[in-house]
C-alpha cells in the first residue's frame, strides 16, 4: 500500500511534468496540442486518483454508475484541457490557459473534477428515469417503485415536494425565514441538476425580476426567456415581436446549450423556483436588531455629526439591500405598494450616505473601508454580530 509520503511525491512529480509541458507549449505553439495531450495523460494516471477520488467524495454508487460518472468527469476534463466538445458545452472549443493552472495543476484538476461530479450524477438520474419500464401486470411483472429522483424527473409540478421534502421539514424545524427557504430551495435544485446559478447584475434587476414573479404567467414567462437565450446561443433568429425582456434574458448568460436544455426539461415551475430563490430580497432585520446595530455603530465615534449620519446611513442601507418588510411584519397599516414606495425613497439616499461615511474624519468604520461596497459589507458583518448576540466592543474591534 502506498504511503502518504509516496503519494505526495507522486503528485509532485506529476505536477512537475505538467509544468514542463505547459512551458514547452508556451514557447512553441506548434507543439501545444501534443503537450495538452501529454498533460491529459498525466491527469488520468490511475495512481493519482484524481477522477476516482472526486467520485468517491460525492457518495456511494454501483459499479456501473461509478463508471458512468467517472466517464462524465473525464469528458469534462478533456473539454477544458483539449478543447473538445464536452457534456456541458457541446460544440464549444474553450480551453483552459495552461499558465493559469501550472502553479498548482493537481489541486486545480482535483477541484475541477469534484465540481463536475454533480453533472455526472444528473446524467445517471435522467438515464434511470428514461429506462424505467412501463407497468405490465399482464406478464406478471411490475417495475420497482420509482425513487424520489425518478419521480422528480417525471413530474416537474411536484419537483420541490418530491425531491427536497425532507430538507424543507428540516428548514421548518430550524425556523428559517421565508426568503432563506426560497434560497435553499433554489440552491438544492441547482445542485441536484448540476446547473449554474442564474446571473443578476445588480439590486435593481433583482427587485424588478422579483416583482415580475408575482404575475400569474411568471413561470411561462421565465421559460420563454430561457428559450430565447437558447435560440441566441444556437444562432437562431428570434421572431419579430418576440424580443426578450433583457433583465430576464440576463439570468441565463452563464448557461450553455446543455444547461438550458436540461433546465427546460424540468418545466416552468422548477425554473420559477430557481429564479425566485436567486432574486428574492432578504427580509429586513427586526426593529430590535436595527436599534442595536445603530447604537453600536454610533458608538464608534463621538465626533459631531456622526450619530445622525449613522442613523441616516443605516436606514438607507436597509432600504437598499432588504425587502420592504420584515419577515414577521403583520401589524403594519401599510400595504405592499405603500411599503415599497417608502423603501425606494429611503434607498435613494444610500450612495450619498455611504460616500459621506467614507469621507468622515477619522474613518470610524476602519481604514479598510474604502468603497461603497465596503460600507455595505461592514453593515452586513455588524448585523451578523448583532444577531449572534454581538456587542459594541466587538464592533469596535472589527472596525
Q: How far apart are CA 231 and CA 20, in angstroms?
A: 42
Taking alpha carbons only, the member of 183, 170, 391, 151 closest to residue 295 is 391
Cell (9 digits) for 186: 433554489
The reported pLDDT for the residue numbered 82 is 82
Closest CA to 43 of 4, 66, 25, 70: 70
Question: How far is 51 from 43, CA to CA, in rounded Å?
Answer: 9
pTM, to two decimals: 0.49
pLDDT tens for the 399 residues of the chain, in order:
556 677 778 888 998 899 899 889 888 888 888 888 889 999 998 888 899 888 887 766 777 878 888 888 888 888 888 865 433 333 334 467 787 777 788 888 888 888 788 777 766 665 655 454 343 333 333 333 333 333 333 443 344 444 455 555 555 556 666 777 788 888 888 888 889 999 987 888 888 898 888 788 888 889 989 988 888 888 776 655 556 688 898 999 889 888 998 898 888 888 988 998 899 888 888 888 899 999 989 999 999 999 999 999 999 999 988 887 665 555 566 666 777 788 889 888 999 999 999 999 999 998 889 999 899 989 988 888 887 765 444 555 445
Number of other residues whose CB lies within 10 A of the CB of residue 382:
23
Q: Residue 307: what pLDDT?
A: 94
Alpha carbon 99 to its chain centroid, in Å, reads 27
Asked if residue 364 lies in contact with residue 399, where contact means CB atoms within 8 angstroms, the answer is: yes
- Contact of 187 with 160, CB cutoff 8 Å: no
Partnered with residue 284 across adjacent β-strands are: 326
Mind spelling out the 3-state secondary structure of the chain? Answer: CCCHHHHHHHHHHHHHHHHHHHHHHHHCHHHHHHHHHHHHHHHCCCCCCHHHHHHHHHCCCCHHHHHHHHHHHHHHHHHHHHCCCCCCCCCCCCCCCHHHHCCCHHHHHHHHHHHHHHHHHHHHHHHHHHHCCCCEHHHCECCCCCCHHHHHHHCHHHHHHHHHHHHHHHHHHCCCCHHHHHHHHHHHHHHHHCCCCCCCCCHHHHHHHHHHCCCCCHHHHHHHHHHHHHHHHCCCCCCCCCCCCHHHHHCCCCCCHHHHHHHHHHCHHHHHHHHHHHHCCCCECCHHHHHHHHHHHHCCCCCCCHHHHHHHHHHHHHHHHCCCCECCCCCCCCCHHHHHHHHHHHHCCHHHHHHHHHCCCCCCCCCCCCCHHHHHHHHHHHHHHHHCCCCHHHHHHHC
Tell me what pLDDT residue 210 has: 85
Residue 152 pLDDT: 36
Q: Give the per-residue pLDDT at 174.
A: 61
Amino acid at each position: 500500500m502506498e504511503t502518504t509520503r509516496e503519494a505526495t511525491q507522486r503528485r509532485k512529480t506529476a505536477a512537475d511534468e505538467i509544468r514542463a509541458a505547459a512551458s514547452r507549449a508556451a514557447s512553441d505553439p506548434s507543439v501545444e496540442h501534443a503537450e495538452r495531450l501529454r498533460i491529459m495523460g498525466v491527469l488520468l494516471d490511475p495512481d493519482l486518483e484524481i477522477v476516482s477520488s472526486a467520485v468517491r467524495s460525492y457518495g456511494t454508487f454501483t459499479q456501473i454508475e461509478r463508471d458512468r460518472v467517472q466517464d462524465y468527469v473525464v469528458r469534462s476534463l478533456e473539454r477544458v484541457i483539449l478543447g473538445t466538445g464536452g457534456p456541458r458545452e457541446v460544440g464549444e472549443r474553450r480551453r483552459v490557459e495552461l499558465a493559469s493552472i501550472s502553479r498548482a495543476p493537481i489541486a486545480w484538476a482535483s477541484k475541477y473534477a469534484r465540481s463536475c461530479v454533480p453533472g455526472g450524477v444528473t446524467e445517471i438520474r435522467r438515464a434511470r428515469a428514461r429506462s424505467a419500464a412501463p407497468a405490465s401486470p399482464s406478464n406478471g411483472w411490475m417495475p420497482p417503485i420509482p425513487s424520489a429522483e425518478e419521480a422528480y424527473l417525471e413530474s416537474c409540478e411536484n419537483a420541490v415536494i418530491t425531491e427536497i421534502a425532507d430538507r424543507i421539514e428540516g428548514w421548518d424545524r430550524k425556523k428559517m425565514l421565508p426568503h432563506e427557504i426560497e434560497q435553499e430551495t433554489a440552491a438544492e435544485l441547482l445542485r441536484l441538476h448540476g446547473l449554474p446559478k442564474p446571473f443578476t447584475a445588480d439590486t435593481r434587476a433583482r427587485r424588478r425580476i422579483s416583482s415580475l414573479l408575482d404575475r400569474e404567467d411568471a413561470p411561462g414567462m421565465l421559460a420563454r426567456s430561457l428559450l430565447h437565450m437558447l435560440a441566441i446561443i444556437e444562432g437562431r433568429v428570434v421572431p419579430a415581436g418576440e424580443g426578450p425582456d433583457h433583465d430576464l434574458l440576463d439570468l441565463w448568460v452563464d448557461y450553455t446549450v446543455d444547461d438550458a436544455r436540461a433546465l427546460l426539461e424540468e418545466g416552468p415551475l422548477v425554473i420559477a423556483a430557481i429564479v425566485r430563490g436567486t432574486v428574492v430580497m432578504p427580509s429586513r432585520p427586526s426593529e430590535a436588531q436595527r436599534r442595536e446595530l445603530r447604537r453600536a455603530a454610533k458608538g464608534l465615534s463621538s465626533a459631531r455629526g456622526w450619530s445622525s449620519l449613522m442613523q441616516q446611513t443605516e436606514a438607507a442601507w436597509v432600504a437598499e439591500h432588504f425587502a420592504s418588510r420584515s419577515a414577521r411584519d403583520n401589524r403594519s397599516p401599510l400595504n405592499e405598494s405603500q411599503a415599497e414606495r417608502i423603501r425606494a425613497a429611503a434607498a435613494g439616499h444610500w450612495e450619498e450616505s455611504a460616500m459621506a461615511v467614507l469621507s468622515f474624519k477619522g474613518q470610524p468604520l476602519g481604514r479598510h473601508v474604502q468603497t461603497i461596497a465596503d460600507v455595505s459589507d461592514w453593515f452586513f458583518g455588524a448585523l451578523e454580530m448583532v444577531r449572534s448576540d454581538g456587542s459594541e466592543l466587538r464592533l469596535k474591534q472589527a472596525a
